[in-house]
Structures are given as C-alpha cells and as structure tokens.
Structure 1
C-alpha cells in the first residue's frame, strides 16, 4: 500500500512539474520564438536608408528547464558587400515571467571582432523583458563592461541601457511582413576612454516573433541607423 501511495505521489509531482513546465515554456515563447533552429534575418540601413549590411540570429541548444526555457543565440554579421563576416554567441533564459538576454549582446559585433584576439574581462547586467507588457511600463536597466588588457595599459569600455520603458503599441510593416508591436525606448550610453556618447534607441517587439525593427538616434533625436526583419525561417 505504501509503495502504491509513493508511486501515486511521485506521479502527481511529476504531472504538476510537466504541466508547469509546459505553461512556462508557452509563456517563454510570448516574445521570442525559443525553438530549435528558428532563424531571424535582418537588414541594416544607415540614416539615409542605404543598406549597410545584414545580420542573422539563430536559436540553438534550446532546453526546457524546471523553470522555463534556455537557449543559445548564434548571431552573425556581414557588410553590404558580403564580406567581413563575424559571428558570436550569447544566451537567453526564461522563467515564464521574465526573459533574460545575455548582457554580452549589448556589445556590437564590430567591437567584439576588433578585440577578439585580446585578453578581456566582461561583466554586466542582463537585459530583462517581462513576458507580459503594457504601454507605460518601466523596465530595469542593463549594461556591460569590458576591460581589455593591451599590454602596457588596460582599456575599459562600457555600454549602459537606461530609461527603458514601453511607449506604446504600434503596427508596422517590414520586408518579413506586418506585425503588431510594442515600442520600447531606451537610452544607450557608450563610454570608452575619453569618449562618452548617448544613443537613444527604439525597438519594435512583436509577440511570437521578437525584434522586428530597431532605430538608433543621435543626441538631437535624428536617425543614425536602423535594422529591420527581412525573413523568418523555422
């Protein structure tokens, strides 16, 4: 009898665990398609709308956990002539309520490529995105710091993402299609040596798709560059 009770109890615990895991996994797919092999392709434009290059992101090693889902995001960049390719990997995790994106993703591919052969220490705070958004919501700050050993001296670079907030909902059309999006604003501050610049940023994020479009501006609010979703491959 005790054996039967123990097995029934274990079965009940396992059932709750599986149902909870399924629920968490479903919530984790709210904004990003955290499924093995999903590939997002983007086109990069300068302030005049001219194509500057392309970028892609692919979900790999997607694992279901007791709390939700975790995945590796493999990202690649190429210039407008199809040259100078560079690739990097960062992590994304989700516990059903919060999606956390590795702070390393704040470092540009060009920056990572430039200092890839040097000894570097990278620390930071992950980007957090609730699985449920609404206009007016304020989001936590994020940032990354990279200390580079250059032999005779050390160089420090920092990127801070502050004043994050959900501005509104908006429907936009990009080469990949038409999407209902949340518009998220942030101040992206870049500091290196004596150079300290702020680049306001807006990201359009759609449920089930992820980032559809981004725009970066100068201190006067004028467009510097943009990235748009050109294709989704599942």
Structure 2
C-alpha cells in the first residue's frame, strides 16, 4: 500500500512538472489561453487571434512552449490553426516570428514551400527605460513544386529601445508596461529583384505576460496602420 501511494505521488509530481514551468517570473502551463484582438487604423475590429498553450517542456536548460494560434476574422470565419514556439532560457524570452510565415501559407500562398532560415526575437529578463534590445530577425526561402528557390523574404526589427514606462488598460486588465519602439525593414527578393518596405512598431510589454499588451504599426510617414490589444488571458 505504501509503495502504491508513493508511486501515485510520483506520477502526480511528474504530471505537474510536465504541465507547468516557472521562468522569468512567469508560470507557463498547458491549457493557458490568450486572445489578441486586431484593429485597423480607424479603430475598427478586423479580427482576433486565439492562442492556447498546448505543451510545456524542457529542452536542455530551457523551457519551451508549443502554442497553437487560430485567426478569426470580424465575421467569425476561422483560418486553419498553426503552431508557434516560445523559448525561455532563464535570462531571456525568445519569441517565434514564424506565425507570419504560416499565416501567409494559410492566407494565399498554400502552394508555396517555405523554409525558415532565421527566426528570433528576444526579450531580456528585465526591462528598463533607455535600454537597447537586440535586433529581431526572420528570413524565409520560398519555392514551388520542389524546384529551386523562387523568392526570399527577410524582416529585421532594428533600433529596438525601451522608451518609457506607462500603464495600459485593455479588456484583460490594467498593466504597467514598457513602451518599446523598433524600425522594421522588409525585403522581398523575387527572381533576384529586391522589393523593400519599412514601418515602425511600438509595443507595450510587461515582464509577467507572454504576449505584448498592445502593439501599434505605423507606415514610413508615421500614419497609424493598425494595432492589437491583449483582450483576454487566463
């Protein structure tokens, strides 16, 4: 009987460890849900993304979260879900930017084969006003029909800096956030011909949430193109 009780306790302990991990002051647990609502430049809701943590596990000394993302437009129509990954090393949180690539495949590039070559956007364990953050990078190679590369897409988030600290209120609550600005540079090479574009991103982030509380996108002329808000979290 004593052996059975010990075995059951061990199973409970192992199950708890596999489903919840603490890192950078956050608890990552299977089943956690987040909702980010997207608005256009005129503040009209245009859709939302529903995130759910499907798995939390250890890889070496890091905690890795497998998260499914489901886009739903303003009429309730859903696109096929895709998976992204977040990695917590203990000193930084590394966000997965491949959701952009997968959204393109689901949206209008289903026949394209995409190979992710670079994918990293890191946040340090502690943020402070005036702090400069490392560049974020994503590079994708696209091909069709098993042939050679047809196009390359790269995105760099440069000049990332913590500008200020301010409270942000959303339907999910009020958060003390750090305002982070970055310059985003896009380059698409199609048959060797480069097409470039730039924009500015302002994000509002707190140290105890996985996703940005608010994110604003501006074109090169400084006009607001749209923004997202964290509207639900458990």
| TM-score of the superposed pair, with normalisation by structure 1 | 0.80
* Greater helix proportion: 1
What is the aligned partner in structure 1 of residue 204 from structure 2? Answer: 204
In the alignment, the residues of structure 2 paired with residue 78 and residue 173 of structure 1 have an alpha-carbon distance, to the nearest angstrom, of 23
Q: Of the candidates 37, 41, 58, which is equivalent to residue 43 of structure 1? A: 37
Residue 54 of structure 2 corresponds to residue 53 of structure 1: no
CA contact (8 A) 2:70 2:81 kept: yes
Higher relative contact order (CA 8 A, sep 6+): 1
Residues 129-208 of structure 1 mapped to structure 2, 5 A cutoff: 129-151=123-145, 154-192=150-188, 193=190, 194-208=194-208
In the alignment, the residues of structure 2 paired with residue 154 and residue 131 of structure 1 have an alpha-carbon distance, to the nearest angstrom, of 39
Residue 63 of structure 2 corresponds to residue 69 of structure 1: yes
Alignment partner of 2:161: what SS? Answer: strand
In the alignment, the residues of structure 2 paired with residue 182 and residue 49 of structure 1 have an alpha-carbon distance, to the nearest angstrom, of 22
Deviation at 1:63, TM superposition (A): 1.4
In the alignment, the residues of structure 2 paired with residue 125 and residue 53 of structure 1 have an alpha-carbon distance, to the nearest angstrom, of 25
User: CA, structure 1 residues 86+217, in 2 after alignment: closer, same or farther (shift >3 Å)?
Assistant: farther
Deviation readout 1:46-87 (Å, 9 max, x if unpaired): 000011111122222101455241111211111111114232
Deviation at 1:182, TM superposition (A): 1.1
Deviation at 1:109, TM superposition (A): 5.3
CA contact (8 A) 1:28 1:69 kept: no
User: CA, structure 1 residues 167+130, in 2 after alignment: closer, same or farther (shift >3 Å)?
Assistant: same
Deviation at 1:117, TM superposition (A): 3.3
Deviation at 1:125, TM superposition (A): 3.8
Alignment partner of 1:54: what SS? Answer: strand
User: Which piece of structure 1 moves more, 160-169 or 61-70?
Assistant: 61-70
Alignment partner of 1:85: what SS? Answer: coil
Alignment partner of 1:201: what SS? Answer: strand
The answer for unaligned runs of 5 or more in structure 2 is 1-16
Deviation at 1:121, TM superposition (A): 1.6
Residue 74 of structure 2 corresponds to residue 83 of structure 1: no
How much is the aligned-residue C-alpha RMSD, in angstroms?
2.1
In the alignment, the residues of structure 2 paired with residue 184 and residue 227 of structure 1 have an alpha-carbon distance, to the nearest angstrom, of 15
CA contact (8 A) 2:111 2:144 kept: no
Alignment partner of 1:111: what SS? Answer: helix
What is the aligned partner in structure 1 of residue 232 from structure 2? Answer: 231
In the alignment, the residues of structure 2 paired with residue 109 and residue 50 of structure 1 have an alpha-carbon distance, to the nearest angstrom, of 25
Paired positions, count: 207
CA contact (8 A) 2:70 2:78 kept: no
What is the aligned partner in structure 1 of residue 94 from structure 2? Answer: 100
The answer for unaligned runs of 5 or more in structure 1 is 1-20
Deviation readout 1:6-47 (Å, 9 max, x if unpaired): xxxxxxxxxxxxxxx9xxx544344xx522111110111000
User: CA, structure 1 residues 65+156, in 2 after alignment: closer, same or farther (shift >3 Å)?
Assistant: closer
What is the aligned partner in structure 1 of residue 223 from structure 2? Answer: 222
Q: Of the candidates 101, 104, 107, which is equivalent to residue 111 of structure 1? A: 104
